[in-house]
């Protein structure tokens, strides 16, 4: 019996959130006195897969059928379910993401498992199997007792800090029988987010709103992001106006982020935007309106003109 972790790939590399999930799964395996096995789907180099061992996995099951190269939540859930059954896994771990969300409920149905989303801490095994989860977009916590024989834990991003070793995982080919019914949905086109640092995986985020007055002024946001090695983001009105691409929109109807640092420049702080960012560990708000609602949620606030503050902040960061 092992703990099974689904590890996502991005262009053949393990995602940061998957590294977190593997590390978390290895810790749970240690608590249960068993081993941690990762399952990876899609094309990837064997050497890259072996790096899962750095985060605690002892073995990697690699499903490399060409039909699985296109991301497919239905097919991926079936593959992970087959891996869980093969390994006799009683705990399945995955990162909470758009793909993880698409898979988790299907996995629960296939494995007749209990599911806990947004898990933020290791389970309490002192009296059953109890996990702490984030609810109400990070405004509160819940403690969930999972009583099903199989448990599925969807780990909230950036809440687990993995520790690396120099270990290497054994990589085994995994060839489950694929169900044609899982491929009734065909992917005809894929548009990927671009940028040096992708928003869902970012530790640092620099975001801006209509206070920038137009897309031609976004250079000062990008300059600060580059100096910080951060991702860029925007509010919904900005993406609606086509000032910035939709994949940079954070908020209730956009991407939800939980970086170590979120800098918001020229964003008033509507509740819909806060719903996507209030899991950030530190929020810095820059706005010339001292009554901007966002200041109530900020850890640090700067009352000032973004066109003056951002360039000065960039110079300060570059000086460091």
Binding residues: 210, 266-273, 287
**Cβ atoms of residues 202 and 231 within 8 Å:** yes
Contact by Cβ (8 Å): 122, 30: no
Rounded to an integer, what distance in angstroms lies between the CA atom of residue 32 and that of residue 2?
Answer: 9
Which regions of the chain does DSSP assign to beta strands (E)? 2-7, 9-10, 13-14, 35-41, 59-63, 91-95, 114-119, 130-135, 140-145, 151-155, 170-173, 204-208, 231-234, 261-265, 282-287, 300-303
Rounded to whole angstroms, how far apart are CA atoms 297 and 293?
8
Residue 228: CA count within 13 A, CB half-sphere = 25
Which residues does the annotation place in the binding site for FAD? 210, 266-273, 287
* Beta pairing partners, 272: none
Task: Indicate the angle between helix axes 98-111 and 73-87, nearest 10 degrees.
Answer: 50
Q: Are 183 and 66 in contact (CB under 8 A)?
A: no
> In angstroms, what CA-CA distances link 19 with 8, 55, 215, 248?
9, 6, 35, 23
Written as six digits, the tokens of 219 are 């250079």
Both structure tokens of 114: 């209990």
Cβ-Cβ contacts under 8 Å for 184 (sequence gap 6 or more): none
């Amino acid at each position: 019996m092992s703990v099974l972790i689904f590890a996502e790939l991005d262009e053949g590399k393990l995602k940061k959130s998957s590294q977190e999930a593997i590390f978390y799964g290895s810790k749970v395996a240690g608590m249960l006195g068993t081993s941690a096995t990762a399952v990876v789907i899609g094309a990837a180099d064997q050497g890259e897969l072996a790096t899962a061992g750095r985060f605690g996995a002892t073995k990697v099951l690699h499903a490399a059928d060409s039909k699985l190269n296109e991301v497919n939540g239905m097919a991926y859930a079936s593959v992970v379910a087959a891996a869980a059954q093969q390994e006799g896994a009683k705990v399945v771990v995955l990162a909470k993401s758009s793909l993880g969300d698409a898979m988790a409920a299907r996995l629960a149905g296939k494995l007749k498992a209990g599911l806990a989303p947004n898990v933020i801490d290791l389970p309490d095994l002192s009296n059953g199997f109890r996990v702490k989860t984030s609810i109400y977009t990070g405004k509160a916590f819940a403690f969930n007792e999972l009583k099903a024989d199989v448990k599925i834990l969807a780990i909230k991003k950036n809440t687990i800090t993995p520790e690396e070793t120099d270990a290497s995982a054994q990589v085994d080919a995994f060839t489950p029988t694929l169900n044609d019914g899982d491929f009734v949905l065909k992917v005809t086109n894929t548009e990927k987010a671009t940028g040096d640092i992708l928003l869902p995986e970012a530790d640092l985020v620099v975001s801006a709103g209509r206070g920038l007055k137009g897309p031609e002024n976004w250079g000062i946001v990008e300059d600060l992001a580059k100096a910080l090695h951060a991702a860029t983001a925007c509010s919904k009105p900005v993406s609606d106006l086509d000032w910035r691409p939709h994949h940079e929109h954070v908020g209730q109807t956009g991407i939800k982020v939980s970086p170590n640092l979120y800098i918001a420049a020229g964003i008033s702080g509507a509740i819909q935007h806060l719903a996507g960012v209030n899991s950030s560990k530190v929020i810095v708000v820059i706005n010339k309106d001292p009554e901007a609602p966002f200041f109530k949620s900020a850890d640090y606030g700067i009352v000032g003109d973004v066109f003056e503050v951002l360039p000065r902040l960039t110079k300060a960061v570059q000086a460091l």
